[in-house]
Structure formats: structure tokens, C-alpha cells
Amino acid sequence: MSPDKKPTSLRPPVRKAVIPVAGFGTRFLPATKATPKEMFPLVDKPLTQYVVEEAVACGIEEIVFVTGQAKRAIEDHFDRNIELEYLLDNKGKKRELEQVMELAEKADFVYVRQKEMLGLGHAILQARHLIGDEPFLVMTPDDVFSDNSGSNGRPAAQTLIDAYEKVGTPIIGVQEVPKDRVHLYGIVSGEPVGDGLLKMTGIIEKPDQKDAPTNLAQCGRYLFVPEIFEHFAQAKPGKSGEIHITEGIKGLISNQTVHAAMIPNLYHDAGSKLGYLQAIVEFALARDDLGEEFETYLRKRLKNA
Ligand code: G1P
């Protein structure tokens, strides 16, 4: 029986997420020379924490980080820090103590190293033995989402899980991007089948504007089935020597039905400098403790510009 024909009750639940964090972050040098870009803060929480919290809010229990050199800060962030806890406790800083302690309890964290920087597809392949025979999410932390009226407070990855529960196929999260930015993304094509879903017919990594079939970009949220690993294992590296995530998805499309789902949340490409700044503004404006004052500052600043 093909996976999409299985009754909902027979489908295994989505319990695991892979978060690749091994990249060099060259777009943010020199800041990334010794600090992982995934630890850059949006206000006071690192990018990686947002994505972990999104995963947990979607019911994910186990998180596999694919790490590389100079990424120890990420492991430390999701671990206990007894000295800091002791200090905060002594100073009576209860709220801070709770915030620091709960990080290690959010999920089961597992780490695997990508020994060579051979691309996102290769990074995900490193988690193969930890995923087993289950569907799983892949979430890239420099793609962040904030709420807007369309998302109704639901985390971005929930859209993928809901779609999977309905149709039982791999699901690629997409957003519309301006036509002059399609060269920065994997661009998908497909037939609309209702409920914000497309049955995918193709995908192309970072096409020139003139070659792009649509302006629907994959944006860092994927729900895969274990068959994807074999496609990554067999994929030929591109010109840059990397195995792109797109290659695995192409392999899947040639063998089974794959859907793309429109993510209704507001998307920020925090892997680019402008997107990162926009994400900071959005997250700061949404904060109860800062939003109003920050907005007053921005309005004043723009008036005087
Ligand atoms: C990667 C993927 C690309 C995707 C993008 C945004 O590119 O290769 O298909 O659209 O992430 O999530 P990168 O931004 O790492 O160059």
C-alpha cells in the first residue's frame, strides 16, 4: 500500500525533527567566525530556540541537531548550567532561573556531526540512523516565522503536520516570494489540489528569474519520510560540490506523491542581513514588555529621517 493510501490511524505520528546547524554562516562574517549564526538573538532568544519552541509546540519529542565545528554553544544552550542556576537562585532571580532551567527539558536533544560541509541534503543524511522508520520534520533555524492574522497563532510547521495527517505524503512548506528573489530559493511547481496544497510536479534549486516556473519558494520547513535518505545517499553533488536538499526532493517526486503546503505565517529569511533585521523588528514589536516603546521609537525615528 502506498503511504498516501494508508488510513490516518495507521500512519506513525511525527515525533522527531532534524535541525541542521553545521553551516559556516559566511554571509554573516566576521560575526560568525567564532559564534554560530544559529545563536544570533532575535531580541533575547537565539534563532535556534525559536525553531526548537516551534517544534515542541507541534508535538515534537526528539530533536536531532546536525552540528559541525565551533557549534558547542548550541549544545550548551540546551543543557543545564549548574553554576548559572546557583547564581540566579542566590540572587532571587526566579523568572530568569526558570527560563534557563526549562531549556534542557524542552525535548530530548541528540547531536550528530557533519564532518564535511557537503550541503543541506548531506547534513540531513547524517541523521539517518537516528530517525529510523518514521516521518520527521526538517527545520532550518535561519528561516523564522512570526504570527499574522492568517496563521491564527499556529506554529508554521503545524501546517505541514496537519497536511500530512490529511494526505499522508511528504510535505514541503512554501511561501510566495517576489519574482526578483527566486534565484535565492528552491522553487516548486505543481497542481493545486485544494486546502492550500499543491501536488508537486517539479522543483528547481535557485533558478534564474527567467527559468523559474513559479514564485513558490521552499522556506525551511519540510516533512519527510525515511525514503528521502536513499535519494540523498544517491544524489550527485551540484557544481558547488554540495548535495542540495532539492536533489532528495526530486528523487521523492519521481517515486511517490509529494505535496507542497502554503505556510500562512509571516516568513523571515534570517539567513540574509535584511531578513534578519526584519525578524528582529517583528519579534520586538510583538513583545508585551517592549513592543509599545519600540514602536514609538521607530515612528519618531522615521518621522525625523
Ligand atoms: C536553502 C535551500 C533552498 C531553500 C532555502 C531557504 O538554501 O537550498 O532550496 O529555498 O534554503 O530555506 P540556502 O539559503 O541555504 O542557500
Residue 9 has pLDDT above 60, yes or no: no
Instruction: List the CATH number of the domain containing 220.
Output: 3.90.550.10
Q: Is residue 264, in this structure, part of any structural domain at all?
A: yes
Nearest CA to ligand 1 atom 6: 219
What is residue 87's predicted lDDT score, i.e. its pLDDT?
94
Ligand 1 contact, 244 CB (< 6 A):
yes
What is residue 130's predicted lDDT score, i.e. its pLDDT?
97
Which amino acid makes up residue 27? R
What is the pTM (predicted TM-score) of this model?
0.93
> Is the separation of the CB atoms in 122 and 72 below 8 Å?
no
For a mutational test of ligand 1's pocket, the pick from 183, 224, 245, i.e. the residue with the most ligand atoms closer than 8 A to its C-beta, is 245
Q: Is residue 49, in this structure, part of any structural domain at all?
A: yes
What is residue 8's predicted lDDT score, i.e. its pLDDT?
59
Cell matching residue 212: 523559474
Distance in Å, CA 245 to ligand 1 centroid: 8
Residue 102 has pLDDT above 70, yes or no: yes
Distance in Å, CA 277 to ligand 1 centroid: 18
Nearest CA to ligand 1 atom 4: 185
Q: What is the pLDDT of residues 86-99, one digit of tens each?
A: 999 999 999 999 99
Ligand 1: nearest atom to the Cα of 244: 8
Ligand 1 contact, 175 CB (< 6 A):
no
Mention every residue, 6+ apart, whose C-beta is less than 8 A from residue 279: 42, 144, 146, 268, 270
Distance in Å, CA 271 to ligand 1 centroid: 9
Q: What is the pLDDT of residues 141-194, one digit of tens each?
A: 999 999 877 778 899 999 999 999 999 999 999 999 999 999 999 999 999 999
Q: What is the pLDDT of residues 241-270, one digit of tens each?
A: 999 999 999 999 999 999 999 999 999 999
Q: Is residue 99, in this structure, part of any structural domain at all?
A: yes
Q: Is residue 121, in this structure, part of any structural domain at all?
A: yes
Domain total of the chain: 1
Q: Is residue 122, in this structure, part of any structural domain at all?
A: yes
Ligand 1 contact, 271 CB (< 6 A):
yes
Ligand 1 contact, 143 CB (< 6 A):
yes
What is residue 304's predicted lDDT score, i.e. its pLDDT?
81
For a mutational test of ligand 1's pocket, the pick from 38, 140, 176, 268, i.e. the residue with the most ligand atoms closer than 8 A to its C-beta, is 140
Residue 59 has pLDDT above 60, yes or no: yes
Ligand 1 contact, 185 CB (< 6 A):
yes
**In terms of residue numbers, what domain contains 50?**
3-271
Q: Is residue 301, in this structure, part of any structural domain at all?
A: no
| Nearest residue to 266 via CA among 146, 144, 160 | 146
Residue 128 has pLDDT above 50, yes or no: yes
Q: Is residue 261, in this structure, part of any structural domain at all?
A: yes
Q: What is the C-alpha separation between 223 and 161, in angstroms, rounded?
A: 7
Q: Is residue 203, in this structure, part of any structural domain at all?
A: yes
Ligand 1: nearest atom to the Cα of 218: 10
| Rounded average pLDDT over 19-26 | 90
